[in-house]
Structure 1
Amino acid sequence: MPESRSLNDTAEHLYSLIANEEDARVCTDLPDEACQEVPRNFFLILASNVLTKLGDLLISPKTVLAWLLNAVGAPALVAWLVPIRESGSMLPQMVIGAWVRRKPVRKWFWTLGALGQAVSVTGMAASVWFLDGYAAGGGVVAALVVFSLARGFCSVSMKDVQGKCIPKGRRGRLSGLATTLGGSATAILTVLLFWDRGEPSMLFYTLLLLLAAGFWVVAGMLFASVDEYEGETSGGGNALRDAFNNLGLLRTDPPFRHFVITRALLLCSALASPYFVLLAQKQEDSAWLLGVFLLASSLASSISASVWGWMADASSRRVMIRGAIIASGTCLMVGAAGLFLGEQVGGRWFYPLAFFILSIAHAGVRLGRKTYLVDMAGGNKRTDYTSVSNSVIGLLLLVTGGLTALVALISDTAVILFLGFMGLAGTVSALRLKEV
């Protein structure tokens, strides 16, 4: 008991330093009993987020999984990795959200999602180790479908649990700190695991997947320890029916509809990144260059996320606007350079540097819209907003992916320009959002 009290005192002291307030329990939008547990919950949620970010690095569809499918002899399946990873976790969220909404305590959905991701990644490792060719590739893709569905539970429940356990004005700080710590840890892990290793064996990558699964198991156990008070419940009917009823929010709630449109336009910051990598690979196709991009992504998050988080606590709308301006400007600059000066412009560092800047912008857009969504809603609306928004964006992501695939028939530069103008439209839309 004394040890537990000492840990709580330590958490409270650290939280007071991070929150920059003398009383770490000061909060205005949470019940008194929830305020007492804010410091402990803050660090449990923080640790869970950092561990999942490490796991995400080790099973990145754009790097590790793509390499694995090519190595086992199933390169044609690589094209399915990113769409399944992103949209698979978003599209079912209306149904998941309606189910989550009926439960007074929702942390268990996040824990279930984390354990589901651990099981699916273990399935990937087993497929790679025991199977060959398209059997192994098919096993990885099938496991990724399960992974994405499990991730949907985490996405819907995280914002709601965070809204119930962390006071307004500290949520952006939590997200920013988690991204900063996660980015720093992934940068260190990247260097330790990939630097000057040559061509790792299949055993190495199998163990890498098992390590990622372990991160999710520990994260789920930590999140299960969050002290969440019971919240509102409603909608005891059929989850699918409730989910389609929630789509009416897009018609009846103009501020929410405007937010979803803005978020859709700002997909440019996520979709443009692979094309920067493709252009760089045309200049130099090497493992060293891939490592540079991995480090650029990690360093961009660690350097910028806490700054974005503090700014989001003041105005998440302005964070979205600034991130959108940087993202669209970077895309238009790179696209114009490729169009007028040729895709070999700038030498070996041009595209990694542009990718680094775009990653900083994407961190701002992502953190700003997450904080904006949590702050603009309360009670069950928070869960409804999250599930409807993610489901709609998941569908639009597939549509936009199809459009970029068509534009890519012209050139990679044309895709970057298209996404740059899309981001410019998103910037204008974000300027018209109301402060929350």
Structure 2
Amino acid sequence: MSKQSTVEQVYEAINSGDDGRVCKDIPEQACDHQPKNVTTHIVSLASTKVADGLIDPKLILSWLLSTLGASTFLVGLLVPIREAGALLPQLFTAGALRQLPQRKWAWALGSLVQGISVVGMVLSALFMEGTSAGISILVLLGVLAIARSVCSVSYKDVLGKTVSKSMRGKVTGMAASIASAAVILFGVALASGFFERMDIVLIALGLAATLWIFASIMFTQLEETPGSTEGGGNPLTVAKENLTLLIKDRQLVRFIIVRALLIATALAPPFMVTLNGSDDLSKLDSILGGLGALVLASALASFLSSYVWGWLADKSSRKVLLLSSFVAMLALGATALLGQLELIGQGLLLPALLFVLMIAYHGVRLGRSTHLVDMATAENRAAYTALSNTIIGIILLTGVGFSAIAQYFGNVAVLAVMAVMCLLAGILATGLREVQQVP
């Protein structure tokens, strides 16, 4: 069987049942390359998503720094650097990226830099320890986060140019499901106890680096039609122009508010897990089986739900945001109630609720991504993406407020507040347009 026929079969399998809905909202030249482009997107995106799971800063890098003897303060900087660093630069990088007729090269470079950064992390872990290892890995994570911001801005723009509207959610959903299956195996290996702990973590980081570099090479094979380069220029000027979009487009404002409220789905897991008082990072080494269980819960939720969420998002990303908001509200509300009643530690209640929340979390990710791509046009897609991500990055920096609430009022109070946030997000999502409907 030839390579081309395999590509064609993959495309036909994904596109089954949608024969009449091809070539929507993409350049005419891109229609002839749909099988190749769809397959390239899936392979490249799945590779980077596996890599993301293998270096998860909330779990894997936290354990690594703790084991290397870095201070709790340095360990605590991992998630803020990773999340804010990936989002905040985007308002400024969007203008520069607009100067590229083919933005696949920006994504490929960003993926390459992420791979090289992780190679540096492996070397730091092998030859450094303590504070020096912690600072080195944090700096490299910062570089990785900035490179990721370039990929984030350019990817949605490239996806919008190279894949038909009726296929985008399925492409990202299938990539997430493939990646989740791989990360599930990683979680099983972590939880099994059959392997030396440091060895498997370093091997995972090495594999992540390889996957990012492979994805970089793969993505260059996309058939991307050169696009408009208007809008590039001085970063501050571009930033000012992008901010005016908040005045011009009320739907964009509503979408950003919904997305901001739904950051609760990303921030809640640590507060859920620490309801039993196991928040001491120094204990990570002794609970590696627990670390594997957390990786498994997240990956299994993604594996079981991502393709379904993606398929639903192609029908109505608005309904996906609405549904995932209410699912998250129920999971967080139930956790807060059971925590208040001191029943959360019984049986499998907490793992089950965490699993449900992660299903909602993946729905939020796929729903917001598909909604943003489909609500925008080819001319403003990069600007919409950058503006939305930068605002969310700033809001994420205020997430330390939840730690203050937990300190004074307890984790139950934090989870209750987050449940209300998800409820408000669901209510506001009802006012979003059905952007998948053809005008």
* TM bucket normalised to smaller: over 0.9
Alignment partner of 1:286: what SS?
A: helix
Q: Residue 63 of structure 1: SS of its match in structure 2?
A: helix
Looking at structure 1, the residues matched to 277 and 14 of structure 2 have their Cα atoms a distance apart, in angstroms, of 41
* Residue 216 in structure 1 maps to residue 216 in structure 2: no
Q: Which residue of 2 aligns with 1:131?
A: 128
| Equivalent residues of 1:279, 1:351 under 8 A apart | no
Counterpart of 1:403 in structure 2 is 401
User: What are the within-5 Å matches in structure 2 for residues 262-301 of structure 1?
Assistant: 262-280=258-276, 282=278, 286-301=287-302
> In structure 1, what is the equivalent of residue 172 of structure 2?
175
Correspondence for 2:98 among 96, 101, 104 = 101
Q: How does 1:18-417 map to 2 (within 5 A)?
A: 18-21=14-17, 26-74=22-70, 75-192=72-189, 194-197=191-194, 200-201=197-198, 203-280=199-276, 282=278, 286-339=287-340, 341-342=341-342, 345-399=344-398, 401-409=399-407, 410-417=409-416
Superimposed CA distance per residue, residues 180-214 of structure 1 (whole angstroms, 9 cap, x where no aligned partner): 1111121123224552236523x543333222111
Q: Distance in 2 between matches of 1:273 and 1:22?
A: 37
Q: What TM-score, normalized to structure 2?
A: 0.93
Q: Give the 3-state SS of the residue equivalent to 1:303 in structure 2.
A: helix
1:33-60, Cα deviation, whole Å (9 max, x unpaired): 2111111111111011111111112211
Give the secondary-structure state (helix, strand or coil) at the position aligned to 2:57: coil
After superposing the two structures, state which structure 1 stretch, 353-362 or 242-251, moved more: 242-251
Which ranges in structure 1 are unaligned for 5 or more consecutive residues? none
Aligned length: 428
Residues of 1 paired with 2:206 and 2:148: CA distance? 18
Where 1:20 maps in the other structure, the secondary structure is coil
Letter of the aligned partner of 1:337 in structure 2?
Answer: L
**Residues in 2 aligned to 1:94 and 1:232: alpha-carbon distance in whole angstroms:** 18
User: Do 1:15 and 1:24's aligned partners in 2 also have CA atoms closer than 8 Å?
Assistant: no
Q: In the TM superposition, what is the alpha-carbon distance from 1:287 to its structure 2 partner? A: 2.3
Report % sequence identity. Answer: 41
The one-letter code matched in structure 2 to 1:212 is: A
Would you say the 8 A contact 1:13–1:24 is kept in 2? no
CA contact (8 A) 2:191 2:289 kept: no
CA contact (8 A) 1:113 1:154 kept: yes
AA aligned to 1:294 is V
Q: 1:346: Cα distance to partner?
A: 4.0
* More moved, 44-53 vs 22-31: 22-31
Query: How far apart are 1:32 and its partner, in Å?
Result: 2.9
Partner letter of residue 57 of structure 1? G
Quick check: 1:94–1:244 contact (8 Å CA) kept in 2? no
Return 236-245 or 255-264, whichever deviates more.
Answer: 236-245
- Partners of 1:431 and 1:243 in 2: how far apart? 29
Deviations 1:303-335 (A, max 9, x none): 011111111111000000000000011101100
Structure 1 residues 235 and 277: alpha-carbon distance in aligned structure 2, compared to 1, 3 A threshold: same
Q: Are 1:25 and 1:35, in contact at CA under 8 Å, matched by a contact in 2? A: no
State the 1:24 CA deviation: 9.3
Distance 1:208 1:10, change over 3 A: closer
Give the structure-1-normalised TM-score: 0.94
Contact kept, 8 Å, 1:11 with 1:40, in 2: the verdict is yes
- Structure 2 distance, partners of 1:327, 1:59, is 25
Residue 251 of structure 2 aligns to which amino acid in structure 1?
Answer: P
Cα displacement string for residues 202-248 of structure 1 (whole angstroms, at most 9, x for unaligned residues):
x5433332221111000111111111111122024313321222111
Write the letter of the residue equivalent to 1:434. R
Shift of 1:17: 2.1
Report SS of the residue matched to 1:37: helix
In the TM superposition, residue 11 of structure 1 has moved relative to its aligned partner by 1.3
2:68 and 2:358 map into 1 onto residues whose CA distance is: 30
- Does the 8 Å CA contact 2:190/2:291 hold for their aligned counterparts? no
How far is 1:266 from its partner?
A: 1.0
Equivalent position amino acid for 1:189 in 2:
F
Query: Match of 1:276, SS?
Result: helix
Query: Is the Cα–Cα contact under 8 Å of residues 280 and 352 in structure 1 kept in the other structure?
Result: no
Distance 1:147 1:172, change over 3 A: same
Cα displacement string for residues 333-389 of structure 1 (whole angstroms, at most 9, x for unaligned residues): 1001111x12x5342522111110000001111101110000001112110000000
* Aligned counterparts of 2:289 and 2:277: Cα–Cα separation in 1: 11
Amino acid at match of 1:329: L
> Which amino acid in structure 2 is aligned with residue 325 of structure 1?
F
Q: Kindly state the Cα deviation for residue 104 of structure 1 after the two structures are TM-superposed.
A: 1.1
Residue 77 of structure 2 aligns to a residue in which SS?
Answer: helix
For residue 402 of structure 1, report the CA deviation from its aligned partner. 2.0
Greater shift in the superposed pair: 39-48 or 122-131 = 122-131
Aligned equivalents of 2:55, 2:73: Cα separation in 1: 18
* Alpha-carbon distance between aligned partners in 1 of 2:424 and 2:21, rounded to the nearest angstrom: 41
Corresponding residue SS for 1:394: helix
In structure 1, distance between residues paired with 2:297 and 2:151: 26
How far is 1:280 from its partner?
4.8
| Counterparts of 1:308 and 1:22, CA distance in 2 | 17
Instruction: Say if 1:209 and 1:22 are closer, same or farther in 2 by CA, change over 3 A.
Output: closer
- What do you get for the CA RMSD once the two structures are aligned? 1.9
- Matched AA of 2:405: V
Question: 1: CA distance between counterparts of 2:63 and 2:318?
Answer: 38
1:158 to partner: Cα distance: 0.7
Distance 1:134 1:28 in 2: 52
Deviation at 1:9, TM superposition (A): 2.7
